[in-house]
Chains A and B, each alone.
Chain A
Amino acid sequence: MTQAEAEFLLAKRQAADFSIIDEWIEPKSRILDLGCGDGELLSYLKTEKQVFGIGVDNDINKIKSCIQSNIPVYQGEIQDTIQLFPDDFFDCIVFSRTVDQLSTPGSILRESLRIGKRLIVGFINHGFWVNRLNFTLKGQRTINTVFPDSWHDSRKANPFSLAEFEKFCSVYNIKIQRRCCLGADWKKTCNILPNFFSGYVIYDLSL
């Protein structure tokens, strides 16, 4: 597969994520997208729900893309950025495929629940059966459209499973208001043994 094809497939998968987040977001709400990338989600929500969204990223090329899309964006570290806002400043804080990149995910998620009334957290379920099988049979990590690069070409990541995430929520009394588990294709919902069969999960959380 060429890199362009891989990026196209990934973009299609991201779109699945967007439509669920869109369903859960109230019109005109104030949103902080942590790890906003090119600002695609915020652009989408701005069109669909007239939200006022701010993005946070630390890559100059992503910042440029956000500016082109007319999305306000703050260049900085996520852990520093969330300290800047007063309690309940945002209606919703979005972590779309960001949590596994954070250096202190637990404290960042909890601090985010101070500045945001709700969190929407979407992540790749590392307990997905293909990942387990690859490791059990080949003793190797999965390489596919979701994880296209070998370990030596990948950035630092801290993958975790649906079950591990829910354990964290229960330990810190974070309420799971809604959950949407998507199957291997990140399209159809998957409610049977989600920690095994679900490829991507999205949570709506509050205190």
Chain B
Amino acid sequence: MDDSLLVVAKDFIHKGSFSFEKGGEIPSFNLRYETYGTLNENASNAILICHALSGDHHCAGKYAPEDKKNGWWDNVIGPHKAIDTNQYFVICSNCIGGCQGSTGPSSTNESTGQNYNLDFPALTIQDMVRAQKLLIEHLGIEVLHGVVGGSMGGMLTLQWSITFPSSVRKIIALATTARQSAQAIAFNEVGRSAIIQDPCWENGSYDSNKGPEVGLAIARMMAHITYLSDKGMDFKFGRNRRKSTGELFDVEFEVESYLRYQGQSFVNRFDANTYLYLTKALDRFDLYGEDNSLEKVFSKMEAKALVIGFTSDWLFPPNQNRSIVEAMLRAGKHATYTELQMDLGHDSFLVDAPDLYDLLKHFLSS
């Protein structure tokens, strides 16, 4: 029997202007979100989940029993799971600047009646967190029991502990970094170039129905490789072949077919300008600040922190996760670093892993 949670997506409409960190404002915004479980009487059991770059607010359950796919972290979130929805009130919102129901470059600009496209203000991780804070307040929550996120979600998690130190009791950041390395920026730049150099991009003013699909698919194919690992890909695909049409450059190997599929399915659900905005927000992310001192930045933190690195992650390698906790400890904070031996690369945090479940469960309940 399928015991998946049945969930509905909701909209939080903020009817006031929102100013962005790097300048610019929008007259109002929408955040699409989902909640699971029940908020207790003193509103002390709320956990905010922060999604990764291409993720969304649908992190657990299904919309209808016949849905083929559950939310992206359904293995972690649900009744009796590591983040137990019988115990916690779990919230996940699509970030501001996103394209899965929240206001972003592909939303309509009220003043022109057209899509914002490149008129949308430059976006940062802090903007996403400040918009989430308004949602949390709207839900009647002053202090979150926890904020949890991996990859870009991990950046949001860290940012929460610094921007709103007294509003978070515990943070769990997975497979993340306190600032993007040159390598990570480089990969994002290749993706952006693929989009920008697609003639259909039209300086960002493409028609909503047909954008730079080739560029976006290539960006996704390349980025997807950075989420996996040599060993993981070898295990999944090896040199397995596909039936080929015999054309010179047709798909020959399983891995090619997989990447083409990833690229194509991304085009169907993601907006190219949003991809440009979000990857830039990642690249700009640098918690070290003007003094180049992470411990100084974390001296504000009040939350207890758990940071988890994954041995095969080469996008945000273990050392970058380690450095976060090292700075927190030097700042005299309660922080734990642990590393999971997993083969699946950056995306390891998304897969079935009993050790990860134990860590999440113990840390949230201790």
Whether B366 sits at the interface, judged by CB under 8 Å, is yes
CA–CA, A75 and B322, complex, Å: 9
Identify the stretch in B4-12, B126-134, B150-158, B323-331 within 8 Å (CB) of chain A at 4 or more residues.
Answer: B323-331
Whether A139 sits at the interface, judged by CB under 8 Å, is no
The A-contacting residues of B in range 311-366, CB under 8 angstroms, are 322, 325-326, 329-330, 332-341, 355, 358-359, 362-363, 366
Q: Does B335 lie within 8 Å of A63, measured CB to CB?
A: no
Whether B306 sits at the interface, judged by CB under 8 Å, is yes
CB of A41, distance to nearest CB on chain B (Å): 17
Interface size of B by Cβ–Cβ distance < 8 Å? 23
Q: Does A64 lie within 8 Å of B332, measured CB to CB?
A: no
Q: Does B334 lie within 8 Å of A72, measured CB to CB?
A: yes
Chain A residue with the shortest CB-CB distance to B337: A74
Q: Does B366 lie within 8 Å of A68, measured CB to CB?
A: yes
CA–CA, A84 and B327, complex, Å: 9
Residues of B within 8 A of A74 (CB): 325-326, 329, 336-337
Q: Does B330 lie within 8 Å of A52, measured CB to CB?
A: no
CB of B148, distance to nearest CB on chain A (Å): 14
Asked whether A84 and B366 contact (CB < 8 A) given A60-B338, A60-B355, A64-B359, the answer is no
Sort A-B residue pairs by CB-CB distance and give the 10 closest, nearest first.
A70-B366, A67-B362, A75-B338, A68-B362, A72-B334, A63-B338, A74-B337, A84-B326, A67-B363, A72-B336
Asked whether A52 and B332 contact (CB < 8 A) given A63-B338, A76-B337, A84-B326, the answer is yes
Could you list 27 A-B pairs, sorted by A, with CB under 8 Å? A30-B332, A60-B338, A63-B336, A63-B338, A64-B358, A64-B359, A67-B306, A67-B336, A67-B362, A67-B363, A67-B366, A68-B366, A69-B366, A72-B304, A72-B333, A72-B334, A72-B335, A72-B336, A73-B336, A73-B337, A74-B325, A74-B329, A74-B336, A75-B338, A84-B330, A85-B329, A86-B330
CA–CA, A66 and B336, complex, Å: 9
Asked whether A84 and B329 contact (CB < 8 A) given A60-B340, A67-B336, A75-B339, the answer is yes
Residues of A within 8 A of B358 (CB): 64
Residues of B within 8 A of A76 (CB): 322, 337
Residues of B within 8 A of A66 (CB): 336
Chain B residue with the shortest CB-CB distance to A58: B339
Chain A residue with the shortest CB-CB distance to B328: A72
CA–CA, A89 and B330, complex, Å: 8
Whether A78 sits at the interface, judged by CB under 8 Å, is no
Chain A residue with the shortest CB-CB distance to B304: A72
Whether A54 sits at the interface, judged by CB under 8 Å, is yes
Interface size of A by Cβ–Cβ distance < 8 Å? 20
Residues of B within 8 A of A89 (CB): 330
CA–CA, A85 and B329, complex, Å: 9
Chain A residue with the shortest CB-CB distance to B365: A68
Chain B residue with the shortest CB-CB distance to A32: B329
CA–CA, A72 and B326, complex, Å: 12
Extra A-B contacts (7), CB below 8 Å, given A63-B338, A68-B362, A72-B304: A60-B341, A64-B355, A67-B366, A72-B336, A73-B336, A76-B322, A89-B330
The B-contacting residues of A in range 78-96, CB under 8 angstroms, are 84-86, 89
CB of B298, distance to nearest CB on chain A (Å): 13
CB of B311, distance to nearest CB on chain A (Å): 11
CB of B355, distance to nearest CB on chain A (Å): 6
CA–CA, A63 and B322, complex, Å: 15
Residues of B within 8 A of A30 (CB): 332
Asked whether A64 and B362 contact (CB < 8 A) given A74-B329, A76-B322, A84-B330, the answer is yes
Q: Does B363 lie within 8 Å of A72, measured CB to CB?
A: no
CB of B116, distance to nearest CB on chain A (Å): 43
Residues of B within 8 A of A72 (CB): 304, 329, 333-336
Q: Does B330 lie within 8 Å of A67, measured CB to CB?
A: no
CA–CA, A74 and B326, complex, Å: 8
Chain A residue with the shortest CB-CB distance to B308: A75
